[in-house]
Every structure is written in structure tokens, then in C-alpha cells.
């Protein structure tokens, strides 16, 4: 099942894609898609609905982030062998964990304004996990039961704020719009093996990243179990699981985002994102 949110920013309604790929309105069935509605019971209830009975939505409607108001947005750093290699940092022995502000979240086709003065904004295509049940001290074997589904994420990163201005990485990860999530929350039964997904990203039609989740150092189940031992995971929480090689920082010379760049990215079965980069417009 492919769930999504549509409508003006801040006024989105929940929806689903019917078997023809058309958007159907769930707004009269559930309040929203978020922490209170991604639990297994609600997902089962939605799956039992007849999609043809739901109102059809205009295909040109804006698509928002597929999760509303997550409690947290956790990220795993350096989680692909090829990306760790391009950064010159030895692969970590335990997951590198940092937070991205939830205010960074945007829709999958929204233009993105660079952080004011940014000259080192970068891209990171990532597999996102959406948690469906409260998870605390769980094992790797149990982890899949706590996942609601998966989504596409771009963990946009301002490298100067991230790496050159002291403190931890969160400063460079949290700009408004630097966390597009979606277009869809694909529920887990429709993702046969999350460790066998192809992922790619293009800047101005040039392929920059091409990877596979098979290259993860810590796979999805290990990440969920590991995090549950240092923090509670709650329904609606989003985890970005790291990026493969091909980020702008890893190129020689480095290539960072500029005004009018166009980004396009995707992961097998999870849809695509596309948007234009704009200079700070405030």
C-alpha cells in the first residue's frame, strides 16, 4: 500500500494510491498520516478499504511529506561502505547517529531554498524507515515487527555548518526544506527486501549517486534494534539510513548545490523526488 499526504503546505490531507496509481482521499477516514495512524491496526484497517470507494483527487495536487509531525527524525551516518570510503573515514564499528530537525521536513517536489550564505549544500539519497510500534530494547530478530514501512529521503546537508563550525553534525542537517520525505510511505509488505533496493540521484540530469541498500554497513533491522537500546522509537518516527557514494563533498573537485540546480532522485518501488534549488529568498 502506498500512502501519502496531499494539499497545501500545512493543510495536507491523507491519501492512498489506488491500483491505477491515482490518488484517493482518506481525509474522511483518518485525521492524518502520522504518529497516531501508522500503527499496525490502522494500517490493517486502511488495507481493508475498497480504494475505488474513496474520492478521487486531482492529479496535479501538491504532494507533502508522507508523515506529519514525526516525534523525531533520526539519521545514520557513514552507513555505506562506498560512501565511508569516499569520505576517507574508516567504516564505523557502531552506527553513527545524529538528529535532523523535524522542521527540515518538506514535500518531495517542493523547491528548496539554500541556507542563507550557503556555498556547501550537498545531497544524500537515502532509504527512510517509518516506525509503526513503540520499540524499546528490542532484538534484531524482532525489529521488522516495529517497522510500518519505507520512504524516500534526501538528507540534504550544508557541509560548512556540518563539518567546519564546531559541535555536532545537526547544524548542517537541519535547514528548512533540507529533509524532503516521500512521495509515499510504502507499507512494509510491499517492500519485499529492503536490503535489495537500487537508489540514484541526478543533478541537472547528470547521475551523481548510484547505489544499492545491499551495501549498507548496518542493515535496517540492526539499525532499529540498535537505536531502541539508546532511545525509545515511537510510531511515526523517521530514520534516514545513510547514503551511498557520490555526494558532492566526495567529488574531485567538490560540487555543491547552486541557485537553479535541479535534483531528481529515487529508490526502487519508493517513487521519485524532484525539485529546484533556490538561493535564500527570505
Judged by the rule CB under 5 A, the positions of this chain that interact with Zn ion are: 124, 155, 243
Whichever of 121 and 243 has its CB closer to Zn ion, that residue is 243
Burial of 192 (0-12, 13-18, 19+ CB in 10 A): exposed
CB of 220 to Zn ion, least distance (A): 15
CB of 177 to Zn ion, least distance (A): 15
- Helix, strand, or coil here: 38? coil
Examine residue 253 and say whether the peptide bond preceding it is cis (omega within 30 degrees of 0): yes
CB of 18 to Zn ion, least distance (A): 33
CB of 249 to Zn ion, least distance (A): 11
Whichever of 243 and 273 has its CB closer to Zn ion, that residue is 243
The residue sitting closest to Zn ion, measured at its beta carbon, is: 155
Whichever of 13 and 72 has its CB closer to Zn ion, that residue is 72
CB of 233 to Zn ion, least distance (A): 18
Whichever of 12 and 124 has its CB closer to Zn ion, that residue is 124
Strand partners, 199: 211, 267
Q: Strand ranges (DSSP E) for 62-114? A: 73-77, 96-99, 105-106, 112-113
What residues contact 179, with CB distance under 8 A and at least 6 apart?
A: 73, 100, 101, 104, 105, 106, 153, 154, 155, 156, 173, 240
Q: Indicate the helix (H) or strand (E) that contains 14.
A: strand 13-17
Whichever of 113 and 162 has its CB closer to Zn ion, that residue is 162
- Given CA atoms 16, 22, 28, 31 in this order, what sign does their dihedral have? positive
CB of 37 to Zn ion, least distance (A): 26
Whichever of 57 and 76 has its CB closer to Zn ion, that residue is 76
Amino acid at each position: 500500500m502506498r500512502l501519502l499526504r496531499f494539499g497545501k503546505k500545512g493543510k495536507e490531507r491523507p491519501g492512498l494510491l489506488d491500483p491505477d496509481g491515482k490518488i484517493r482521499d482518506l481525509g474522511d477516514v483518518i485525521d492524518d498520516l502520522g504518529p497516531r495512524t501508522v500503527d499496525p491496526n490502522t494500517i490493517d484497517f486502511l488495507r481493508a478499504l475498497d480504494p475505488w470507494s474513496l474520492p478521487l483527487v486531482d492529479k496535479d495536487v501538491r504532494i507533502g511529506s508522507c508523515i506529519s509531525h514525526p516525534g523525531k527524525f533520526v539519521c545514520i551516518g557513514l552507513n555505506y561502505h562506498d560512501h565511508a570510503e569516499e569520505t576517507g573515514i574508516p567504516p564505523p564499528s557502531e552506527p553513527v547517529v545524529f538528529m535532523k530537525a523535524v522542521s527540515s521536513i518538506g514535500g518531495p517536489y517542493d523547491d528548496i531554498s539554500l541556507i542563507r550564505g550557503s556555498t556547501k549544500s550537498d545531497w544524500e539519497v537515502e532509504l527512510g524507515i517509518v516506525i509503526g510500534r513503540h520499540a524499546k530494547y528490542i532484538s534484531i530478530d524482532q525489529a521488522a515487527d516495529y517497522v510500518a514501512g519505507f520512504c524516500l529521503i534526501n538528507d540534504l546537508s550544508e557541509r560548512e555548518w556540518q563539518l567546519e563550525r564546531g559541535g555536532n553534525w545537526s547544524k548542517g542537517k537541519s535547514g528548512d526544506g533540507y529533509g524532503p520525505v516521500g512521495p509515499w510511505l510504502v507499507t512494509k509488505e510491499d517492500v519485499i527486501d529492503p536490503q535489495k533496493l537500487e537508489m540514484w540521484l541526478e543533478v541537472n540530469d547528470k547521475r551523481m549517486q548510484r547505489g544499492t541498500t545491499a551495501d549498507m554497513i548496518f542493515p535496517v533491522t540492526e539499525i532499529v534494534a540498535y537505536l531502541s537500546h539508546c532511545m525509545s522509537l515511537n510510531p511515526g518516527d523517521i530514520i534516514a539510513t545513510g547514503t551511498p557514494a557520490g555526494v558532492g563533498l566526495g567529488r574531485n573537485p567538490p560540487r555543491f548545490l547552486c541557485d537553479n540546480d535541479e535534483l531528481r532522485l529515487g529508490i526502487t518501488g519508493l517513487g521519485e523526488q524532484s525539485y529546484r534549488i533556490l538561493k535564500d529568498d527570505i
